[in-house]
Amino acid sequence: MSKLILSLDGGGIRGAATTQFLTHVEKALQSTHQKSLRDCVDFYAGTSTGSLIALALATTNMDMQDINKLYSYSNAKKIFVENRGLFELDGLNAPKYEAKGKTATLKKYLGDARIKDVPAGKHVLAITYGIENRRPYVIKSTEGIFQNLLSYQVADASSAAPTYFPTRDMPLLPGNEQAWLIDGGVIANNPTMCAIAEVCRLWPDDKRRVLTVGTGTSTRKINGPDSRNWGALQWMLKGCIIDVLSDEKVVAYQAITISPQGSYIRVNAEMRCQPGFDQAPDDAMDDISQTNIKRLKGMGDFWFSQYGDAVVALLNDSYDGPSLDRIDPQTGHPLVYQAG
C-alpha cells in the first residue's frame, strides 16, 4: 500500500494561495476521479496558517471551498486587529496584533472539533514551540495525551507568531502543566520532515507519497554589508529575522532527497513576477489588503496551472512522472528533481 502525506507551510495570510490551490485540486479530483481531497490523504501536517488548514481538513467536515473562504478580506480584518494600547509601537514593545480576533475566528470555524476527531486510519499533526522549556511540541493524533485538545486552540498556538501575536497558553498532559506556546514556524515552518518521520514510524512497510504546499518564497533583499553592524532591533526591522528563522528551503531539500523518485511534489514559487504570473503578491504575512489577497489567490491559480495534473495524479496514486520541486522563476515551470 501507499500512504499520502499532505504537508502545509506557515505564512499568515499567504495561506490564501494554499487554499485556492487545494480548492482547484479538489474540484479536479471530484470531476476526474469522483474523490474528495480527504479521500486521498492519510496524514495531514501543518504549521501556523498551514495547521489551520490541516486541522480543518482532518477534524471537521468543512470542504475546501469553505476553508478557502476563511482567507477572505472580511475574516482577515477580524484576525489582524491592530494592538492600539497606549505606548505600544507596532510590534516593537508589544505584539503588533491583538489575540482575541484570531482566537474568536478560529473558534467560529473549527468549533468543538478535537484532535481525536480525525477519521479512523488517518492522522494529523501541528507544530508549535514552548518557550519556557525551550522545546518543540509536535501535537499529533498518534499520541493519546493530545487527543482531547481543541483544534482551534492548537491552531491558535501554532500561529502565535512572535512580534505579531501574543504567546498562547495551553494546559498539556501529562500533569496539565501550563505551556506558553508560539508559532511553530520558528523551528519548522515546513512540517514535511516531521510528517515523514511519523509516517515511517506508523506504517514502516508502506510506500509513501508526499504533497507539500508552501505559501510563497520571499525575495526582498536583506542588506548584507549593513547587517554587520545590526543589533536585535535592526535584525527585526531590517533583517526580517522571523522570515529568516522560518525559511523552508532546507526542509524541502531534505524531504525531496530522501523521497523515492516520482513520489514527491513541492508546490511553491518565489513571490515575484515570472512567466505565466505577472501580478505578484506582497510577501508580508500580514498584508491583508483586498488587492493582496486577490493576488495571493492568483498565485494559487498559477500553481494549479503548473502542478494541477501532476498533483491530482499523485493524490489518485496514478502519477508516473518525476519528483517536482518549486517553480523556476526563469521559466515559470516546476523544477524537475534529478537525484544525485
For the chain, 340 residues long, give each residue's pLDDT as a single digit of tens.
799 999 999 999 999 999 999 999 999 999 999 999 999 999 999 999 999 999 999 999 999 999 999 999 999 999 999 887 655 555 456 788 999 999 999 999 999 999 999 999 999 999 999 988 888 999 999 999 999 999 999 999 999 998 889 999 988 877 777 889 999 888 889 999 999 999 999 999 999 999 999 999 877 666 566 666 666 556 555 545 555 555 567 778 888 899 999 999 999 999 999 999 999 999 989 999 999 999 999 999 999 999 999 999 999 999 999 999 999 999 999 999 987 6
Domains in the chain, CATH or no CATH each: 2-336 (3.40.1090.10)
- Running DSSP on this structure, what letter comes out for residue 149? S
Q: Which long-range contacts (CB under 8 A, 24 or more apart) does 273-280 make?
A: 274/327, 274/329, 274/330, 274/332, 275/330, 275/331, 275/332, 275/333, 276/302, 276/305, 276/306, 276/332, 277/302, 277/332
- Running DSSP on this structure, what letter comes out for residue 33? H
Which of 286, 335, 249 is closest to 9 using CA atoms?
249
With a threshold of 0.75, does the pTM exceed it? yes
Tell me the Ramachandran region of residue 163: left when phi exceeds 0, alpha when psi lies from -120 to 50, beta otherwise.
left
Catalytic site positions: 48, 183
Write the burial class of residue 144 (CB in 10 Å: 0-12 exposed, 13-18 middle, 19+ buried): exposed
CA R_g for the chain: 19
Q: The C-alpha cell of 242 is what?
A: 522571523
> Which secondary structure element, helix H or strand E, spans residue 211, and what is its range?
strand 207-213
Gap between the Cα atoms of 163 and 142, Å rounded? 31
Name every residue whose Cβ is closer than 8 Å to that of residue 149 and which is 6 or more positions away in sequence.
114, 115, 139, 170
